[in-house]
Amino acid sequence: MGHDHAHSHVDESQSNKQLALAVAINVLLTVAQVVGGIFSGSLSLMADALHNLSDAAAIFIALVARKIGNKPADSTHHFGYKRAEILATLFNSSTLILIGVYLIFEAMSSYLNPQ
């Protein structure tokens, strides 16, 4: 009794276009928030702009890694380039962890040494 290994494949070019659109929207939102933050003097808008910019960078890294990961195997990479996606995920998650540790350190420092 055999079984089927068929998978439903999402159109990757459509998915890549959607990721690219998400990057573009995040960058436009970042620009709008920076302009609004400068004109209003709002530090929270500037902080949210940086947050959106980091989201755009993470999506862009994932998009590039996906493009590299889709390259076929060759004589030097016998199993292809799928590891690029794993490395991009490692980079993105490590960056988030480092930023979180930094923010915790700064919060503790501000709490222990109020101005």
Whether residue 64 is contained in a domain is answered as yes
pLDDT 10s digits, 62-78 = 999 999 988 888 888 77
Q: For residue 10, is it within any domain?
A: no
pLDDT at 2: 60
Does residue 114 have a pLDDT over 90? Answer: no
41 φ/ψ sector (left φ>0, alpha ψ -120 to 50, else beta): left
- pLDDT of 36 higher than 70: yes
In a domain, 60, yes or no: yes
Does a structural domain hold residue 9? Answer: no
Residue 8 falls within a domain, yes or no?
A: no
What is the pLDDT at residue 5?
58
68 located within any domain: yes
Domain count, the chain: 1
Domain span including residue 61: 15-72+79-112
Q: Is residue 90 part of a domain?
A: yes
Q: Confidence class of residue 6 from pLDDT cuts 50, 70 and 90?
A: low
| Burial (CB count <10 Å: 0-12, 13-18, 19+), residue 81 | middle
